[in-house]
Amino acid sequence: MNLLGLESVLPLDDVMRMNKRQLCYQVLNFGMIVSSALMIWKGLMVLTGSESPIVVVLSGSMEPAFHRGDLLFLTNINEDPIRVGDICVFKIKDRDIPIVHRVIKVHEQADGNSIFLTKGDNNNVDDRGLYAEGQMWLSRSDVIGRARGYVPYVGMVTIIMNDYPKFKYLVLAVLGIFVLIHRE
């Protein structure tokens, strides 16, 4: 007991009381959780054909269809042609963050491929200003996937963690400590 008559509530005490076998078990348990999450992610990539089967809407450019923080579920099936009105997630050369916008024009080329132009529902102009220098149209290779469903505002957690990195590290530390000290 300490001076206040309360037992210590620090999680570090629980870790210190564990023998080597228990601590090894907890570390392996944590590793299993992380590897399971990665396997689920890779499985979703294979099932959907998309390098990123789930994305978060980061701006208000697609309002009222999607709001900032909405979680989108994507598929990228090459045999399914892109049509006007499809909501595509695409990546621009030399930009890290993908963009979620609606297809407004599609042009079929003589070789059977198509090129298309996109625009955010809440934007006044098309996306040519966002494309790479000299690029006027997108091709199928630029597409990460097409939106097939969404869950409103669930992605706000991701946005908050990116906007406030210290909060992200705090959440990750708390989760890590919980996994290490939880004995069941």
Catalytic residue among 127, 139, 163, 182: 127
- Compute φ and ψ for 99, nearest 5 degrees: -115, 140
Active-site residue 107, yes or no? no
List 50, 70, 101, 142, catalytic entry: 101
State yes or no: is 101 an active-site residue. Answer: yes
Catalytic residue flag (residue 35): no
39: phi > 0 → left, psi -120 to 50 → alpha, else beta; which?
alpha
- Find the catalytic residue in 50, 61, 70, 142: 61
Q: Helix (H, G, I), strand (E, B), or coil: what is residue 67?
A: coil
Give the Cα separation of 139 and 111 in Å (integer). Answer: 13
Cα separation, 34 vs 172, in Å, equals 12
Residues with a known catalytic role: 61, 101, 127
